[in-house]
Structure 1
Amino acid sequence: MAGASLAAELAGAGSVIVIEGEDRPGYHATGRSAAFWSETYGGPLVQPLTTASGTFLRDGGFLGARGGLHIAGDADAHVIADLARGFGDAVDLRPLGRDDLIARIPGLKPQWRRGLLEPTCADIDVAALHAHYLKSAATAGARFVTGAGLRSAARAHGRWAVETAAGVFTADILVDAAGAWADEVAIAAGLAPIGIQPFRRTMVQLRVDPAAPANLPLVIDALGRFYFKPEAGGRIWLSPHDETPCPPCDAAAEEIDVATAIARLEAVVDWRIERVEHKWAGLRSFAPDRVPVYGFAPGRGDFFWFAGQGGFGIQTAPAAAKLGASLLLDRTSDPIVASIDPEPYLPDRLQPRA
């Protein structure tokens, strides 16, 4: 999603080649998303990008009504209060008590007594959004090359020469939108890494009894131990909210993480787990401060970072791509991001300081 969305914004302003290591775009994190849009997800520094993306996503038909519900026990009521306080007036968040919770989550166990409703939370059609950006970029003249794993990148005669499994490509500016492989791309290009770390996140599709109601909100543990949402046919998608550091790879779900997810769900609702229908894992990649990285490498006008999107790269894609394009092209920001200060996202914040 990162490369496709930025390519769509840049293609009309110059020649763009998108180099994809896999046989098709979106194979890794983009194709394994939990597919929701939440203004609280990622924290207060990510929220402006998510909120700014909302109008584009709604107008484009990429969002579907869902609603989100952060839940906690009485002993953790302060977490609910801190969450609401952290976003101030930027996000519509509404406190709920026990009666409101059980009306929205059938079978909720007694210890869950505090909640915070996030009514703007929505499902997001990830495949449609990704296809939109791929089509928009191609229509504007961008070229896509797949099966082009990176071998080396070096400056030659004032331009980059990028050697891949699909041939050698040249360009004035190299954009690093490689997700979990972002640091590896930088190293291959002779730059210092900035500490982009991939983490494995597990998802499980379950059939439960009683069937999950279609209007069930996205249910999020305020302490960050799980989230789940309904899927077609009364199923649910469940994650134990795991973050296991790992090298860049084709991630797969581990049995211990699947078991952990189910155990945490069983502590929330009295549903019976009929079977695990599907399980998968994806990589979420973060900078050390867990804030996205957009901008030219310090002292360089030829290497542009577009990385560290964590698990919120899809929901922030419209705003992030427009902000990235404005920084790369040194042009006035698009109106949807005009009020967003780019300073917190610039890569120079991650450089060692004396």
Structure 2
Amino acid sequence: MRYDIAIVGAGIAGASLAAAIGDLSGGGASVLLLEGEDAPGYHATGRSAAFWSESYGGPGIQPLTTASGPALRDGGFLAPLGSLHIGRAQDAGRIDAFLAEFAESGVALTPLDPRPLVPGLRADWSLGVMEASSAYIDVAALHADCLARARRHGATLVTGASLNAATRGWTLKTGAGTFAADIVVNAAGAWADAVAERAGIGPIGIQPYRRTVVQLRTDPPSPADLPHVADISGNFYFKPEGAGRLWLSPHDETPVDPHDVQPEELDVAIAIDRFEQAVDWRVAAVERRWAGLRSFAPDRLPVYGFEPGRGDFFWCAGQGGFGIQTAPAAAALAAGLLLGVAPEAFVADIDAGVYAPGRFRF
């Protein structure tokens, strides 16, 4: 069988795009999802820190995040959390810049003293900004829903299908066999540049980075109503995870080659040290530790659109750590570009040109 569209990668980027293609085409486009692992979502999607924040990623990401909010809420994928950005006296300039950056965005940001909201927060962390709209996001449920929607529209998922070679036409040789398609979509995450090169397309410069997360049990236990707490300087964040547990990250970004990334002990130690400089809670146990991949284009904005001069190769890559929180809007925007039709109304005002791959081709 020859497919209209073959999507390489079935993490949140590929899965949400497959679902959006089905929504926009009414199932009229035949879609193949090729996943290199034995199950989709193994790398970045399955290792997300699982929160939705309109400010996370900056103004270039915020329109996609904000537009995704209603769909995520209506789908039952968000739960109240709130995000508290904290700083010390020397961080006043960063706090002011953060507020100014989003002043015209419609994102509600409220300056306040963070210490009453975080019992045990050390006295020098006296500056804060509350982002009340921030929420938990049920990543597994969202990803599963996208895959289910794609299947309902007739999409075919093949796992264990890492792309080995692609010849224009397209003939795609994978670990699960050979497939044919008219259009290839590169939604391969950390492997996006490698997939492009196997298809005879020049790389964009998608760089994977390692991000570390640990689950802690603290004494005293973290309060049940604790918000997500993030250092305004970007040195750590932590959030409650139920039963008195916390998820903590040192907000690390270590450049790595794409692989099954694992946490480094040094990064775990750095995370705990930064945490203990912020609060006077004792770390009773490190219960889990893991690492995931965040992949960025050189300008740290995602890449959506056809390779210039090629109507048969489409980029859906470079989502960094924001692919899940932006998935509904990004997929709707990309589906419109891919099918050559007007996108759904909720993303009609977003400038897709900002994310076009042509910005890297001179």
Structure 2 residue 271 is matched with structure 1 residue 261:
yes
Structure 2 residue 143 is matched with structure 1 residue 92:
no
In the aligned structure 2, how far is the partner of 1:13 from the partner of 1:286? 32
Show CA shifts across 1:18-38 (max 9, x none). Answer: 000000000000000000000
1:185 maps to a residue whose letter is V
Structure 2 residue 258 is matched with structure 1 residue 245:
no
Q: How does 1:239-318 map to 2 (within 5 A)?
A: 239-318=249-328
- How many residues are matched? 346
Q: 1:2 aligns with which of 5, 13, 26?
A: 13
In the aligned structure 2, how far is the partner of 1:121 from the partner of 1:350? 32
Counterpart in 1 of 2:7? none
Structure 2 residue 129 is matched with structure 1 residue 113:
no
In the aligned structure 2, how far is the partner of 1:183 from the partner of 1:75? 40
Show CA shifts across 1:191-231 (max 9, x none). Answer: 10000000000000000010001110000000000000001
How big is the shift at 1:164?
Answer: 0.3
Counterpart in 1 of 2:76? 61
2:158 maps to a residue whose letter is V
Secondary structure, aligned partner of 2:320:
coil
Show CA shifts across 1:33-72 (max 9, x none). Answer: 0000000011101000000000000111100000000000
Secondary structure, aligned partner of 2:243:
helix
Q: 1:52 aligns with which of 47, 60, 67?
A: 67
Secondary structure, aligned partner of 2:278:
coil
In the aligned structure 2, how far is the partner of 1:21 from the partner of 1:135? 19
Q: 2:171 aligns with which of 152, 157, 161?
A: 161
2:212 maps to a residue whose letter is T
In the aligned structure 2, how far is the partner of 1:183 from the partner of 1:141? 28
Secondary structure, aligned partner of 2:314:
strand
Structure 2 residue 156 is matched with structure 1 residue 146:
no
How big is the shift at 1:89?
Answer: 3.0
Secondary structure, aligned partner of 1:215:
coil
Structure 2 residue 28 is matched with structure 1 residue 13:
yes
Counterpart in 1 of 2:144? 131
Could you tell me which runs of 5 or more consecutive residues in structure 2 were left unpaired when the two chains were aligned.
1-11
Divergent runs of 4+, >2 A: none
Q: 1:181 aligns with which of 168, 171, 191?
A: 191
Show CA shifts across 1:144-179 (max 9, x none). Answer: 000111110011xxx200000100010000000000
1:96 maps to a residue whose letter is L
Contact 2:115 2:123 in 1 (8 A): no
In the aligned structure 1, how far is the partner of 2:110 from the partner of 2:266? 35
Secondary structure, aligned partner of 1:233:
coil
How big is the shift at 1:102?
Answer: 1.8
Structure 2 residue 220 is matched with structure 1 residue 198:
no
How big is the shift at 1:9?
Answer: 1.2
2:13 maps to a residue whose letter is A
- Seq. identity, %: 62
In the aligned structure 2, how far is the partner of 1:338 from the partner of 1:320? 11
State which drifts further: 252-261 or 8-17. Answer: 8-17
Structure 2 residue 41 is matched with structure 1 residue 26:
yes
Q: 2:338 aligns with which of 319, 328, 331?
A: 328
1:260 maps to a residue whose letter is I
How big is the shift at 1:87?
Answer: 1.0
How big is the shift at 1:13?
Answer: 3.2
How big is the shift at 1:232?
Answer: 1.5
**TM (normalized to structure 2)?**
0.95
In the aligned structure 1, how far is the partner of 2:121 from the partner of 2:214? 20
Secondary structure, aligned partner of 2:341:
coil
